[in-house]
Amino acid sequence: MTGENAFRSSKLNMKKPRLGFFKYSCCAGCEFQFMYFQKYLLETLAGFEFVYAKMLKRGGNPQGPFDIALVEGTITESWQVDELKRIRERSTVLFAIGACAINGGVPAIKSTMAELEAERKVYRDLSGIHSIRPHSLDAYVKVDGYIRGCPPGERDLCEALSSVLIGKNPDFLEYSVCVECKLKGNICVLVAYDMPCMGPVTNAGCGALCPSMNRACYSCFGPMKHANGPALAKKFKLIGFSRDDIVRKFTEFGADTIEFRRAIEAYED
């Protein structure tokens, strides 16, 4: 057998990594985004066996085992905790995908009030409601990586999937959106126009999409590690934004995170 034929034969005998995609409390936008990615990511997806993904195929086996599990959505019910732990046990690697799974996302807004109060705002009959305070996935299980965004960015999704295919640790960005703005040569909308831009405390990965369009970042990629939320909240206060406006900025995404809770507390100082 020639070298080329041997290579082709080895590729045919390679077992594709088994992938499962799971959803909890969210809009399912992450899985939609996953379906419609283009460019090189389609070739990446072809390297996986889709064992379970409700929006991608009928049936499937939610029991696994999985080489990689992608989980979207915030945990807001007790049964989700139990199921998530079972998925974790049956998965070699588990990635949280999207803002809801990583930092609570929009569903975490209800963490700013008592759970019973949130239930009464939505439901007339509470007899069948068994919700819990919203939390990200890593509050309950070990997470091997975070595919950030609302919806997730192509760069991080490709990085996560490629890392599984070639057996390496994923390399996710760990700096603020401000760095991406500088790399693009953008004018700072916070300094120049007094816009309430969340870029200084938001994790990169979007390519500074909103500031590049002269719009303030609204932090859909969530807080970066060690973000100085209190300093930004005080800056917003100096610009003239009200307490309610500032609270809304820091609770639209990531209301359940320490970094953004500290920012709200700093406003009272």
Element (H, E) at 51: strand 49-53
CA dist., res. 80 & res. 41, Å (int): 29
Render pLDDT for 159-187 as a digit per residue (tens, 0 to 9): 999 999 999 999 999 999 999 999 999 99
Do residues 250 and 258 touch, judged by C-beta distance below 8 A? no
Q: How confident is the model at residue 5 (pLDDT cuts 50, 70, 90)?
A: very low
CA dist., res. 202 & res. 98, Å (int): 14
If one counts every other C-beta atom within 10 angstroms of the C-beta of residue 228, the result is 17
102 closest CA partner among 227, 262, 254, 260: 254
Render pLDDT for 237-259 as a digit per residue (tens, 0 to 9): 999 999 899 999 999 888 878 88
CA dist., res. 155 & res. 127, Å (int): 44
230 closest CA partner among 261, 207, 204: 261
As a whole number, mean pLDDT of residues 78-97 equals 96
Q: How confident is the model at residue 56 (pLDDT cuts 50, 70, 90)?
A: confident
If one counts every other C-beta atom within 10 angstroms of the C-beta of residue 40, the result is 11
For the chain, percent of residues with pLDDT exceeding 90:
55
As a whole number, mean pLDDT of residues 100-124 equals 89
**Half-sphere exposure (Cβ direction) of 200: Cα atoms closer than 13 Å:** 18
The pLDDT of residue 181 is: 96
Q: Which domains does the chain have, with CATH numbers?
A: 14-166 (3.40.50.700), 177-267 (no CATH)
What phi and psi, each to the nearest 5 degrees, are found at residue 80? Answer: -65, -35
The pLDDT of residue 39 is: 61
Helix axes 229-239, 258-267, angle to 10 degrees: 40
- By the 10 Å C-beta count (0-12 exposed, 13-18 middle, 19+ buried), 261 is classed as middle
The pLDDT of residue 71 is: 97
State the DSSP code for 59: S
For the chain, percent of residues with pLDDT exceeding 70:
91
Cis preceding-peptide flag for 200 (omega within 30 of 0): no
The pLDDT of residue 221 is: 94
DSSP string covering 170-208, please?
A: -----SBHHHHHHHHT---HHHHH-----GGGBBS-S-S
